[in-house]
Amino acid sequence: MHALRPAILLFTAAAAYAQTATLSAPAPTLSAGQGSLISLSLASGGQAISALQFDLQSDDALFVNFTLGDQARAAAKAPYSASPSPGVIRCLIAGLNQSAIADGEILKLFVLAAASAPNSSAHIAITNAIASAPDGSQVLLAASPVTVQIQSGSGTAATTVSTAAILNAATLLPGPISPGEIITLLGVNGSGGPSLTVGGVPASLLYAGPGQINAVVPFGLDVASPAAIRLQFGGLTLSATSPVSATSPGIFAANGSGFGPGAILNEDSSINSPDNPAKAGSIVVLYGTGFGVLQSPLLDGQPIPAANSTVNPVTATVAGFPAEVLYAGAAPQLIAGAIQVNLRLPSGVVHDLYAPVTVSAGGSKSSSTVTLAVQ
Domains of the chain and CATH, by start: 23-151 (2.60.40.680), 163-242 (2.60.40.10), 250-374 (2.60.40)
> What is the length of the chain?
375
Q: DSSP letter for 254, please.
A: T
Q: DSSP letter for 186, please.
A: E
CA distance 209 to 197: 17
Max avg pLDDT among 31-35, 153-157, 199-203, 300-304: 199-203
CA distance 294 to 314: 12
**What residue type is 301 in one-letter code?**
G
Neighbours of 136 (CB within 10 A): 9
Query: Is a pLDDT exceeding 70 seen at residue 51?
Result: yes
Instruction: Report the pLDDT value the prediction gives residue 14, as an integer from 0 to 100.
Output: 38
Partner residues linked to 116 by β-bridges: none
For every residue of 248-286, which 3-state class applies, written as one string?
Answer: CCEECECCCCCCEEECEECCCCCECECCECECCCCEEEE
Alpha helices in the chain (DSSP H): 5-18, 70-74
Instruction: Report the pLDDT value the prediction gives residue 117, as an integer from 0 to 100.
Output: 87
Dihedral angle over CA of 316, 318, 319, 321, nearest 10 = -70
Q: Are 178 and 290 in contact (CB under 8 A)?
A: yes
Q: What is the pTM of this model?
A: 0.86
Closest CA to 289 of 252, 317, 235: 252
Instruction: Report the pLDDT value the prediction gives residue 19, as an integer from 0 to 100.
Output: 73
Reported as a single tens digit per residue, the pLDDT across 131-153 is: 999 999 999 999 999 999 998 76
Q: Are 300 and 216 in contact (CB under 8 A)?
A: yes
Closest CA to 245 of 369, 361, 368: 361
CA distance 366 to 370: 9
Reported as a single tens digit per residue, the pLDDT across 323-337 is: 999 999 999 999 999
Partner residues linked to 109 by β-bridges: 38, 66
Reported as a single tens digit per residue, the pLDDT across 239-252 is: 899 999 999 999 99
**In the chain, pLDDT over 70 holds for what percent of residues?**
93
CA distance 318 to 331: 21
Mean pLDDT across the stretch 43-48? 94
Window from 11-15, 131-135, 267-271 with minimum mean pLDDT: 11-15
Instruction: Report the pLDDT value the prediction gives residue 15, as an integer from 0 to 100.
Output: 39
Instruction: Report the pLDDT value the prediction gives residue 159, as an integer from 0 to 100.
Output: 61
For residue 122, report the phi and psi dihedrals to the nearest 5 degrees: -110, 160
